[in-house]
């Protein structure tokens, strides 16, 4: 059954032009729902050098992670904004100060609230010398999400992990990929030639934030170890596409045959994917890992650790290789580099599997979740009851 026109307010502390998986997913949410005739209002922090706007809030960069900015609202400001918008439903996508302000305001206004869990922030704590805060962060996240009517999660592994930690009212909201935007036919021999690579040489690729929580040093270390023992005949080259706190360190280290490609978007990003031969993804902190699907859609086999979220996207031995967490990334990298036929077969299967991950179905399911929450909230209001916490 087609859902009646919905007015959704989306609260997020990350949104384009910021480049990350969460921001891109939320931009697609806005685009798809708007195209289907729904109204979406986005409340978010003001970005650097951005003019003020009615739906924008002040923001502050995090001291230990200046690439991330958190928004905040003055007392009463969020309530006034939500009163002015009068949405049917509030979707809170981030749990920072701005998200908390929206959650408290929605409770006062009796607005139905859905949240989505995108990032294992509690798991990031030990990477930045903040282990003491890990349990505190987990407790906060649990209380935050349990105060909403539904928490949307991107993978079964994340759903199981959160359920073990006491999160309630969890539902699956998977991710998709645009198979036209990411496609093997964007392979660019000129790009490869700019790296000194010929047709049979091997380009290894990682796309994502250059940060400790993404385990980027693991792929760089594995590549260095492989390079020391590699005798060809093909040349090996590693490209890191992205920005982040480790960029300066990697520039200073000047690893031979490694390119720091910086932030890439749109067709430029598609060309990097399609021009590679193997996607190397060592992160163990993902709730899903959008870049894995993008690589698969581009016809790349994937080498990754067997971790929740990532291990649901492809099958070990079919579209790529899933290593145990203590597995030898460098040895697996070498085995795949030495077998072009296996890489090609895995890449073809990866493309086929990605073709089944359609964004249209993903948003059909999201609207069903929204409709269920609105129905529950309406029934509770009719009985004079507050929605269950």
CA count, 13 A, side-chain hemisphere, 293? 24
Task: Give the integer Cα–Cα distance in Å for 14 and 91.
Answer: 14
For residue 389, pLDDT beyond 50: no
pLDDT recorded at residue 122: 62
For residue 333, pLDDT beyond 60: yes
Query: pLDDT-derived band of residue 33, with 50, 70 and 90 as boundaries?
Result: very high
- Alpha helices, DSSP H only, in the chain? 21-35, 77-85, 97-109, 121-124, 134-146, 156-164, 189-194, 216-229, 247-253, 266-275, 290-297, 329-337, 340-355, 359-382
Task: Give the integer Cα–Cα distance in Å for 386 and 290.
Answer: 36
Average pLDDT for residues 312-333, to the nearest whole number? 97
pLDDT recorded at residue 322: 98
Average pLDDT for residues 171-178, to the nearest whole number? 97
Average pLDDT for residues 299-322, to the nearest whole number? 97
pLDDT recorded at residue 67: 65
The per-residue pLDDT for range 122-159, each reduced to its tens digit, is 666 555 556 677 888 899 999 999 999 999 999 999 99
In terms of pLDDT, which residue wins out, 96 or 64? 96
The per-residue pLDDT for range 273-292, each reduced to its tens digit, is 999 999 999 999 999 999 99
Average pLDDT for residues 176-186, to the nearest whole number? 97
Query: pLDDT-derived band of residue 2, with 50, 70 and 90 as boundaries?
Result: low
Query: pLDDT-derived band of residue 324, with 50, 70 and 90 as boundaries?
Result: very high
Task: Give the integer Cα–Cα distance in Å for 141 and 104.
Answer: 14
For residue 52, pLDDT beyond 80: no
Q: Where are the domains of the chain?
A: 7-176+358-382, 184-355
pLDDT recorded at residue 72: 86
Average pLDDT for residues 101-105, to the nearest whole number? 96
The per-residue pLDDT for range 242-263, each reduced to its tens digit, is 999 999 999 999 999 999 999 9
Collapsed DSSP state (helix, strand, coil) of residue 240: strand
pLDDT recorded at residue 47: 82
For residue 88, pLDDT beyond 60: yes
For residue 1, pLDDT beyond 50: no
In terms of pLDDT, which residue wins out, 353 or 48? 353
Q: φ, ψ for residue 275 (rounded to 5)? A: -85, -5
In terms of pLDDT, which residue wins out, 389 or 222? 222
Full-model pTM:
0.91
pLDDT recorded at residue 232: 85
Average pLDDT for residues 221-236, to the nearest whole number? 96
| Domain 7-176+358-382 identical in fold to domain 184-355 | yes
DSSP type of residue 346: H
Considering the four listed CATH numbers 3.40.190.10, 3.40.50.150, 3.40.50.2000, 1.20.1250.20, the one that applies to the domain covering 7-176+358-382 is 3.40.50.2000
In terms of pLDDT, which residue wins out, 349 or 232? 349
CATH architecture of 184-355: 3-Layer(aba) Sandwich (3.40)
In terms of pLDDT, which residue wins out, 380 or 87? 87
pLDDT recorded at residue 383: 76
CA geometry: angle 24, 90, 32, nearest 5 deg:
40
């Amino acid at each position: 059954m087609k859902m009646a026109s919905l007015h959704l307010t989306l609260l997020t502390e990350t949104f384009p032009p910021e480049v990350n998986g969460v921001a891109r997913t939320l931009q697609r949410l806005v685009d798809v729902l708007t195209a289907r005739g729904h109204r979406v209002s986005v409340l978010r922090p003001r970005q650097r050098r951005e003019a003020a706007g009615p739906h924008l809030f002040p923001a502050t960069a995090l001291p230990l992670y200046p690439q991330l900015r958190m928004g905040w609202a003055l007392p009463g400001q969020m309530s006034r904004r939500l009163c002015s918008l009068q949405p049917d439903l509030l979707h809170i996508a981030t749990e920072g100060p701005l998200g908390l302000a929206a959650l408290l305001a929605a409770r006062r206004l009796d607005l139905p609230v859905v949240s989505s869990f995108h990032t294992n922030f509690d798991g990031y704590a030990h990477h930045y010398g903040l282990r003491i805060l890990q349990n505190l962060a987990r407790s906060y996240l649990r209380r935050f999400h349990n105060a909403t009517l539904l928490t949307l999660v991107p993978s079964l592994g994340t759903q199981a992990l959160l359920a073990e930690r006491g999160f309630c009212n969890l539902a699956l909201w998977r991710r998709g990929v645009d198979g036209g935007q990411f496609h093997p036919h964007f392979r660019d021999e000129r790009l490869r030639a700019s790296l000194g690579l010929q047709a049979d040489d091997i380009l290894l690729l990682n796309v994502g934030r250059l940060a400790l929580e993404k385990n980027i040093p693991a792929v760089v270390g594995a590549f260095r170890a492989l390079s020391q023992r590699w005798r060809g005949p093909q040349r090996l080259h590693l490209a890191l596409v992205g920005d982040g706190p480790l960029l300066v360190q990697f520039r200073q280290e000047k690893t031979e045959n490694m390119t720091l490609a910086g932030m890439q978007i749109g067709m430029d990003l598609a060309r990097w994917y399609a021009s590679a031969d193997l996607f190397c993804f060592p992160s163990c902190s993902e709730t899903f890992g959008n870049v894995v699907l993008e690589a698969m859609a581009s016809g790349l086999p994937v080498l990754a650790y067997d971790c929740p979220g990532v291990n649901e996207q492809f099958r070990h031995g079919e579209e790529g290789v899933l290593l145990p967490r203590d597995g030898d990334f460098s040895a697996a990298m070498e085995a795949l580099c030495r077998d072009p036929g296996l890489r090609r077969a895995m890449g073809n299967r990866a493309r086929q599997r990605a073709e089944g991950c359609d964004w249209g179905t993903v948003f059909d399911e999201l609207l069903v979740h929204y409709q269920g929450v609105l129905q529950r909230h309406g029934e509770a209001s009719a009985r004079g009851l507050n929605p269950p916490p």
